[in-house]
Amino acid sequence: MIPSSIENTAGVVVLFNPTKEVIANMASYLPEVAVLYCIDNSEHRNYTVANQIMSNPKVRYLFNNGNQGLAAALNKGASLALEDGFQWLLTMDQDSRAHKDMLPIMRKALVEETYSPVGILAPFQLDKDNQHQVVKEKVQRVKAVMTSGNLLNLEAFSRVGPFRAEFFIDYLDYEFCLRLKMHGYSILRVNKAILFHNVGDITLNYFLGVRITASNHSPLRRYYITRNRLQVMNIYKKQFPSYVKRDLFNMLKDVVRIMLFEKEKLKKLLYIGYGIRDFRNKRFGKFHE
């Protein structure tokens, strides 16, 4: 396995209605990649932001002519990186910012890995919920990680196949990680490598003296999360029963959090129902009410 370096690593960031904040986020990791593919999934191009992005010689900006989904955009970035001869791909969300040492620390951990081929190397995603969490292990072997901040082994991507475009958004990362593990690849999380990232719009709440977080995802995101997580459970229930059991429990906890702490409770529960319906009917892709 070839270690990651600046020269053999490309990056991809998926944009959706980007603001100028995206440019600062990109600047946090641009020095550590040879080229950055910006795949814009917006329905309408923001020419002011797009022109600023394209002014950087490392950036290749592609407008996707509408929202084709996160999976399709990531697959396009990976295909471009393979065509251009890269071995590794940094996958980023537009609202994520890398600590200046994130990628050097991840690359060092990759060089020290000797047990099994690595499919994905992930950072520790720092948010409101875990900012005081103490993690003793420098590197952890995990079953699945979220997409942003990852170094993706493009040889593994070619072997196991692309992200599931029919998922559109949500759970495509978890499904891909489980698929990598089915093919013998490791998923490593490097806990000293920090990515600043918020999942949804996290709020901290207390119930009977217990701190409980709520992600406050929109009703539409609740639809995709529900539909796709059920499909992942269905695909991998035999291979990863403990993962499926834990995620089913997490799904129930999400419903409780919505009912106790989040706004638009009824609408979110309705869209969860839509997700269950479309999973049962094997209806995937972009949501149509």
The whole domain housing 79 covers: 9-196
- What pLDDT was estimated at residue 200? 65
140 with 61, same domain: the answer is yes
100 with 178, same domain: the answer is yes
How many angstroms separate the CA atoms of 71 and 167, rounded?
A: 7
The domain that holds 48 is classified in CATH as 3.90.550.10
| Cα–Cα distances in angstroms (integers) from residue 236 to residues 108, 241, 269, in the given order | 32, 7, 25
pLDDT digits (tens, 9 = 90+) for 220-275: 999 999 999 999 999 999 999 999 999 999 999 999 999 999 899 999 999 999 99
Last residue of a domain, one of 171, 196, 221: 196
| Cα–Cα distances in angstroms (integers) from residue 184 to residues 100, 121, 208, in the given order | 31, 14, 44
163 with 61, same domain: the answer is yes
- What pLDDT was estimated at residue 109? 94
* Section 96-101 average pLDDT: 95
> For the chain, how many structural domains are there in total?
2
Q: Model pTM? A: 0.93
Does some domain include residue 287? no
Does some domain include residue 41? yes
Does some domain include residue 34? yes
- What pLDDT was estimated at residue 210? 72
DSSP 133-155: -----SEEE-S---STTEEEEHH
- What pLDDT was estimated at residue 216? 87
* Section 208-218 average pLDDT: 78
174 with 222, same domain: the answer is no
Strand (E) or helix (H) holding 65: none
- Whether 101 shows a pLDDT value over 80: the answer reads yes
* Section 163-168 average pLDDT: 97
110 with 249, same domain: the answer is no
pLDDT digits (tens, 9 = 90+) for 30-47: 999 999 999 999 999 999
35 with 147, same domain: the answer is yes
Cβ atoms 184, 117 nearer than 8 A = yes
Q: What percent of the chain has pLDDT over 90?
A: 85
- What pLDDT was estimated at residue 137? 81
- What pLDDT was estimated at residue 130? 52
222 with 182, same domain: the answer is no
Max Cα distance, the chain (Å): 55
130 with 169, same domain: the answer is yes
Q: Predicted confidence band at 162 (pLDDT cuts at 50, 70, 90)?
A: very high
- What pLDDT was estimated at residue 170? 95
How many angstroms separate the CA atoms of 126 and 133, rounded?
A: 9
Residue located via tokens 């609408």: 267
Last residue of a domain, one of 152, 178, 196: 196
37 with 114, same domain: the answer is yes
